[in-house]
A and B are shown apart, each in its own frame.
Chain A
Amino acid sequence: MRRAMRGRWVACAAAVALVATACGGGDDSGGGGGGDSGAVLSSSWGDPQNPLEPANTNEVQGGKVLSMLFRGLKQYDPKTGQAKDMLAEKIETTDSQNFTITVRDGWTFSNGEKVTAKSFVDAWNYGASLKNNQKNAYFFEYIDGYDKTHPDDGSQQSAQTLAGLKVVDDKTFTVKLKQKFSTFPDTLGYAAFSPLPQTFFDDHSAWLSKPVGNGPYTVDSYTKGSQLSLRKWDDYPGDDKAQNGGVDLKVYTDNNTAYTDLMAGNLDLVDDVPAAQLKNVQNDLGDRYINTPAGIIQTLAFPFYDKKWDKAGMEKVREGLSRAIDRDQITETIFVKTRTPATDWTSPVLGGDGGYKEGLCGDACEYDPDEAKKLIEEGGGLPGGQVKISYNADTGSHKQWVDAVCNSVNNALDNEKACVGNPVGTFADFRNQITQQKISGPFRAGWQMDYPLIQNFLQPLYYTNASSNDGKWSNADFDKLVDEANAEEDTGTAVEKFQQAEEVVRDNMAAIPLWYQNGSAGYSARLSEVTLNPFSVPVYDQIKVG
């Protein structure tokens, strides 16, 4: 026995010794790019789902890169989320429908090309044109002529460019919208509205393998599926110059491995702390763990296309369900305070002026099992005697919270079978079941804001036939209030109108708000000044190394 065991250990030790010498100097991440003095940090990343183009990127991992490579007309303040002029010198309008946009002088792309009005107009036309398959095309839908460049009924595209965009001169272009939209300028900080250099159009595939933008970083090397090395662009003209030498984004299949790497000093920054580690993160990292609100809200949506959920009295049942959910306990035990119980349908990152209103939901979001039971009975009981909460089981510990929500409901109603989870294998399948209206009960609906406006939390989700109104809820009062709010020139009044619309959502309990999601991140002792912006993406350009 002893001998055999020793053989095994000798082999192990030999193996380890070999590896140890190989990984001896594993922590040098000095910048290899063109003699910059700043040190480079490494950060966790996930393989982006779509090609890295501004109008084709609709998830955080790709968005992360775009936020380093591009600067648009507006930039959202990383702390307050306010839209501030970046490349826009001024955006003028007299009627909230026709805008004249003046681009600042002195901006170039990292390849030397000047950023002009044309850079924007070309990019937006590219994004809106159906033949380019851009998944964010609908961001341009408010611009006049979108229906010609992007006919949604599948007919032939009859125009290559948006009629509402006109280049006046190098610095100026005009935008004509199809309707009044007073907060339109504030949407222009979204990545889809980034300018594009001529090389993007001339040699598209070369651009995709090494993107060129006008942001504080440039792409040094890109190995698809494993690593993207960004380096500080020394001649960057903006005020938000990178405070470090660059960022190496490393793809991790599993965020647990990324966390382990951080613990071992192999990685500087993890911007997605795995749920399993939340209990230890405070001990492991102390004040190098950040947990800040992000513009993400989780809700339960309902299939209003199904008569069972759309008949009179059901609003009471929905409210009852809402009151049967012990949000405090779930966010505490499962999410270890990385979620905050929701009290309205927006997000705290909007701030009071932006339209977030704590407690707008009122009693309807307070946990009260007795009241819940009463409301559900008054409303005629659960359709079919049971609710099935559907969710996609492939990512983001949804199973845990859905089961917890169901437990909470079952306890409140004293019925073991009142609520069950209904896992769906993949996200694509989940989305298919939703769009084909096959789901017959409440389903998980997460919403990550595109830009920090109250409009973005309401219109796409609850307006009749809006792009993300999956439950097909429809309410004339709500629609009217949203239209009025969009036409309102004064921001304060517009926000109030939106909140009135939100009250319509509340009175009908069109969706049950569950909790606001926080962004969480952990970082190594080498770093300082690490913050997350309202989109839960690290503000890379401000991070200091060493």
Chain B
Amino acid sequence: MGRYVIRRLLQMIPVFFGATLLIFLMVNVMGDPIAGLCGDRECDPATAAQLRKEFGLDKPVWQQYLTYMGNVFTGDFGTAFNGQEVTELMATAFPITIRLTIVAILFEVVIGITLGVVTGLRRGKPVDTGALLVTLVVISVPTFVTGLLLQLLLGVEWGWISPSVSSEAPFDELIVPGLVLASVSLAYVTRLTRTSIAENTRADYVRTAVAKGLPRHRVIRKHLLRNSLIPVVTFIGTDIGALMGGAIVTERIFNIHGVGYQLYQGILRQNTQTVVGFVTVLVLVFLVANLLVDLLYGVLDPRIRYA
């Protein structure tokens, strides 16, 4: 087990370098960002040259990348064009996005799995068909429509929530944005759980458990769910990274200054250091989430063991 974890951690190193290099090159290909800093006029060449030097843009790309990587290992992620340290931006953005992601994941787990179990056990009943229809609708409606509709209804028409989230972004303000962010995945989790449960209800071990006279809730919890949740856990695990990086739309709608906002701002201003810094952290999140998921398999199904 320990060996397996170490091997996985070592595998992260090339992935990490490859991903950062790719992002670095992508942002660099967009060209020189300095020209965008002077409004609708040409930067005076002397100042532009100075700025390029300051942000290290005057060196060849490979050298820029090496310098950048070297700095990253000393905890220096560079500076954004407005003079803020990227680490400072991360310190404000990541906690907010993590909170938003936690809310979204909770919705997925609680509502998604519950609905999935209920419909999975009542295959073909009206409940099942209804839930299928609802999830189909949710999957097919884009996030920004759901977001804007909820914002308009709850925020403006009925005044139950504030349409935008304050800069502190406490948990309670993130409930509706979290629901919007989770909505699509929520539908997937529901359907995935339903299918998985439906398949396993016919399995031999379930029949055995029922024949032993175990109470129904125990059969479901101990035997059925543990086996059925493996694909669901995989999905939710990979979704953590996707939610954190993909919250751009939701964050824009509700004016949440999280990772999505900083990435958007960074891409728009072609600020390599911001974009690469944030994406690097997101890559790490993805990798760690994946590892955790794989380790959870062993907990859910003792037959899966890593030597």
A interface, CB within 8 angstroms of B:
1-5, 7-8, 11-12, 15-16, 18-23, 26, 47-51, 58-59, 130-131, 133-135, 137-138, 150-154, 208, 223-227, 250-254, 257-258, 260-261, 263-267, 394-395, 425-432, 434-435, 445-448, 460, 467-468, 470
Whole-angstrom distance from the CB of B185 to the nearest CB of chain A?
15
A225 x B84 contact (CB < 8 A):
yes
A26 to B118, CA, bound (A): 39
Q: Say which one of B65-73, B154-162, B231-239 lies at the interface with A.
A: B154-162
B254 x A257 contact (CB < 8 A):
yes
Where chain B touches its partner, the secondary structure class is helix
Whole-angstrom distance from the CB of B290 to the nearest CB of chain A?
29
The number of A-B residue pairs with CB atoms under 8 Å apart is: 213
A263 x B46 contact (CB < 8 A):
no
Q: Given A138-B44, A225-B92: A428 and B156 within 8 A (CB)?
A: no
For chain B, the bracket of interface size reads 35 or more
Residues of chain B within 8 A of A151, CB atoms compared? 46
B interface, CB within 8 angstroms of A:
30-47, 49-51, 54, 81-84, 88-89, 92, 107, 110-111, 114-115, 118-119, 126-127, 129-131, 134, 151-152, 154-156, 159-164, 167, 170, 172-173, 175-176, 179, 251-255, 257, 261-262, 264-265, 267-270
A11 x B111 contact (CB < 8 A):
yes
Q: Given A5-B130, A16-B176, A447-B40: A261 and B163 within 8 A (CB)?
A: yes
B255 x A12 contact (CB < 8 A):
no
Q: Given A1-B130, A425-B30: A431 and B35 within 8 A (CB)?
A: yes
A428 x B162 contact (CB < 8 A):
no
Residue of B30, B31, B107 most packed against chain A (CB within 10 A): B31
Cβ contact of B44, chosen from A49, A137, A425, cutoff 8 A: A137
Residues of chain B within 8 A of A448, CB atoms compared? 39-40
Whole-angstrom distance from the CB of A92 to the nearest CB of chain B?
30
Q: Given A432-B31, A447-B40, A467-B42: A133 and B164 within 8 A (CB)?
A: no
A264 to B151, CA, bound (A): 10
A257 to B147, CA, bound (A): 11
B270 x A16 contact (CB < 8 A):
no
B255 x A253 contact (CB < 8 A):
yes
B152 x A260 contact (CB < 8 A):
yes
Residues of chain B within 8 A of A138, CB atoms compared? 44
A253 x B176 contact (CB < 8 A):
no
Residues of chain A within 8 A of B34, CB atoms compared? 428
Residues of chain B within 8 A of A20, CB atoms compared? 160-161
> Could you pull out 27 A-B pairs where Cβ atoms are within 8 angstroms?
A1-B131, A4-B134, A5-B130, A5-B134, A7-B115, A16-B176, A19-B161, A22-B172, A50-B82, A50-B83, A58-B38, A133-B47, A135-B43, A135-B47, A150-B46, A150-B47, A151-B46, A224-B88, A225-B92, A250-B167, A253-B255, A254-B253, A257-B253, A257-B254, A428-B31, A428-B35, A429-B30
